Amino acid sequence: MSRIKAIVGLGSCGIAAGAGKVYDKLNELIKTEKYKVSADKTSCIGMCYKEPLVEIIDNDKSYLYGGVTESILEEILEKHTKEHKPVEKYVVHSEYTETEEDVFWEGQVKIALRHCGIINPEVIEEYEAKGGYNALKKIAERKMSYDEVIEEILDSGLRGRGGGGFPTGLKWKFARQNESDEKYIICNADEGDPGAFMDRSLLEGDPHAVIEGMIIAAYAIGANSGVIYCRAEYPLAIVRLNIALQQARKKGYLGKNIMGIDGFNLDIYIKEGAGAFVCGEETALIASVEGERGMPRKRPPFPAASGLWKKPTNINNVETLANIPWIIDKGAEEYAKYGTEKSKGTKVFALTGKINRGGLVEVPMGMTIHDIVFKLGGGIQDGKKFKAVQLGGPSGGCIPASLDDTIVDYDSVNATGAIMGSGGMVVMDETTCMVDMARFFLDFTQKESCGKCTFCRVGTKRMLEILTRITEGEGKEGDIEKLEELSIQIKEGSLCGLGQTAPNPVLTTIKYFRHEYEAHIKEKRCPAKNCAKLLTYEIIPDMCTGCTVCAVNCPVDAIDGERKEIHFIRQDDCINCGMCFSKCNFNAIKVY
């Protein structure tokens, strides 16, 4: 009898959905010898909306099951061990059967995520079996010079995936040109926007790809020490990184004279950050690594000349580094086949919000927002209208549905007023108030401001106060203009990227949804029916059955009426909490 292998997705998303219990149940069943099955684990598979996920490999045929519970697991194992057939109603992806979820994978190209959800991230041999560390071996065997490595990255067209999109090879070149007996390579794994989900998933699912990318970068620039700056809120990522670093040292990928390259010495350690959003900025990150408060420094000098401990330093983010081994192994020309003229390769997005299929996707640069939302993402939940996407994290901008033919590349996204950022794509529907959305993101960036720059520290606070007033029905004529004026001053007067991009959500929502601001200010009305203090609830007499549910649940007793008689809401006493609307079983309450 052939053995069957069950692989459970144990990324943070899967564990939160109950995958840990499924994995424990699997091992419990194996111990009882009820099923001839072997157990293994992997990390985030990408299909987060179907967690917990379990892959069954039966006679070399693979079936991915979604929404697996402990009882469903037994049903699946029973079918496979006795009949070697899948339980089709739970299959979400397989080349041996068609499912309605197959479209989620169509159009995706996995380069950065090539091993995530496939290998056990805690076993270096599985990474090696998939070609891991081949790029490093290629450099050693072919005796590639640092110039040749840098040229390969330049030719690939890879741009930094952390937000700014600066050419990676050029960044390395600058660091190499600065002579020093000590240089540093830093992996920035501390971004705090929705795209951080992508960084965390990569570190949890394929830590060796990031480490190998760092080793290659260190060789190219001449670094002899590496730092992975990772927020402490990613405990699983840190555990798996530590395991991977120990394995890499044991195998000789880290240490002295790496791969027989005389004088190429490197070790990497982890610095746990406190999760400050501002530390996504290079100089603030460097300050934090040095034990100081994470605050940006004036540039020049740039880190390539004077970075960590005033030594030449190169900083790349997680996704950028994960691409490096693939490029060196497959070649720059192969990588450059994907993407657009100025934005080569692929981009990973954390697709979330009012979307049917939320998860982690990797698409070639040049795919339209429409295709990402409606093909991969399966469209908007509950059949509602697509309104906008917020791209680029808290410092990004909102792109309206009317521009959903915008392709995903640096220039096209920047032209809308948004930014690529590290890969957060938040989808919004018709019930989203764009004024409140701008307030929500500005509230985050205002709290995360380090306070060093007056324009950022005070300006974002004043903007937040204005936005809060508007959403509470106290907006005034001139507020929109004041927001625009403050935005310009903050952008021009801030030292780092946090302040320079913090106004983006406000500016883009004013640009594309100005009518919503005007409705809030002039008509004291929220078109999306979202801002509580601007809503009015009224009982529809013809629909009211007098069931009293609304009156019973009203927290301020603002509803009058006897049982089986029409009820009425006293508007002077109503606090607009919406409890009556949510509790009514007969659609007898309208909101406007």
DSSP state of 6: E
124-335: which CATH topology? Rossmann fold (3.40.50)
Q: Span 60-75, mean pLDDT?
A: 96
- Would the CATH topology of 124-335 be identical to that of 535-591? no
Residue 269 exposed, middle or buried by CB count within 10 Å (0-12, 13-18, 19+): exposed
Q: Tell me, what's the pLDDT at 395? A: 86
Q: How confident is the model at residue 262 (pLDDT cuts 50, 70, 90)?
A: very high
Domains of the chain, by residue range, sit at 4-102, 124-335, 346-429, 434-522, 535-591
- Return the structure tokens found at 97: 């059967």
77-127 pLDDT, tens per residue?
999 999 999 999 999 999 999 999 999 999 999 999 999 999 999 999 999
Query: 406: helix, coil or strand?
Result: coil
Following CA atoms 298, 301, 305, 308 in sequence, which dihedral angle do they give, to the nearest 10 degrees? -30
**What confidence tens digit (pLDDT) does each residue in 285-318 have?**
999 999 999 999 999 999 999 999 999 999 999 9
What pLDDT, on a 0 to 100 scale, did the predictor assign at position 194? 47
Q: Closest by alpha carbon to 410, among 437, 391, 383? A: 391
Least confident of 275-279, 389-393, 441-445, 491-495: 275-279
Residue in the block written with tokens 């330093």: 313
Confidence label for 1 from pLDDT (cuts 50, 70 and 90): very low
Residue 393 has pLDDT above 60, yes or no: yes
Considering the entire predicted model, what is its pTM?
0.93
Provide the CB-side half-sphere exposure for 140 (13 A, CA). 17
Backbone angles phi, psi at 365, to 5 degrees: -55, 135
Q: What percent of the chain has pLDDT over 90?
A: 89
Q: Which of 146-155, 273-282, 484-493, 550-559 has the least mean pLDDT?
A: 273-282
Classify domain 4-102 at the CATH superfamily level.
Glutaredoxin (3.40.30.10)
Given this model, what pLDDT does residue 2 score? 56
The pair of three-digit structure tokens given for residue 252, joined into one six-digit string: 């000789």
SS3 for 223-234 is CCEEEEEEECCC
To the question of domain 346-429 being in CATH 3.40.50.300, the answer is no
Q: How many beta carbons lie within 10 A of that of residue 543, not counting itself? A: 13
Query: Could you count the other beta carbons within 10 Å of the beta carbon of residue 311?
Result: 18
Fold of 434-522: de novo design (two linked rop proteins) (1.20.1440)
* pLDDT score recorded for residue 218: 98
**CATH number of the domain located at residue range(s) 535-591 in this protein:** 3.30.70.20
Phi, psi of 363 (to 5 degrees): -125, 155
Report the half-sphere exposure of 391 (CA within 13 A, side-chain side): 30
Assess whether pLDDT exceeds 60 at residue 475: yes
* Confidence check: pLDDT of 522 > 50: yes
Q: What is the mean pLDDT of the chain?
A: 94
Which range is least confidently modeled, 213-222, 365-374, 389-398, 476-485? 389-398
B/e letters for 496-526, b = 16+ CB within 10 Å, e = fewer, are bbbbbbbbbbbbbbbebbeebbebbbeeebb
Residue 223's identity, in one-letter code, is A
pLDDT at 497: 87
Q: Which residues contact 59 (CB under 8 A, 6 or more apart)?
A: 2, 84
Please say whether the beta carbons of 30 and 37 come within 8 A: yes
Q: What is the pLDDT of residue 326?
A: 98
CB 81 within 8 A of CB 36: yes
d(CA 370, CA 378): 10
Q: What is the pLDDT of residues 148-200, one digit of tens each?
A: 999 999 999 999 997 778 999 999 999 999 999 999 999 999 765 544 677 89
DSSP-derived secondary structure for 339-350: B-SSSBSEEEEE
Instruction: Quote the CA–CA distance of 41 and 452 in Å, as a whole number.
Output: 45
Contact predicate 396/403, CB 8 Å: no
Q: Is the dihedral of CA 128, 130, 136, 137 positive or negative?
A: positive
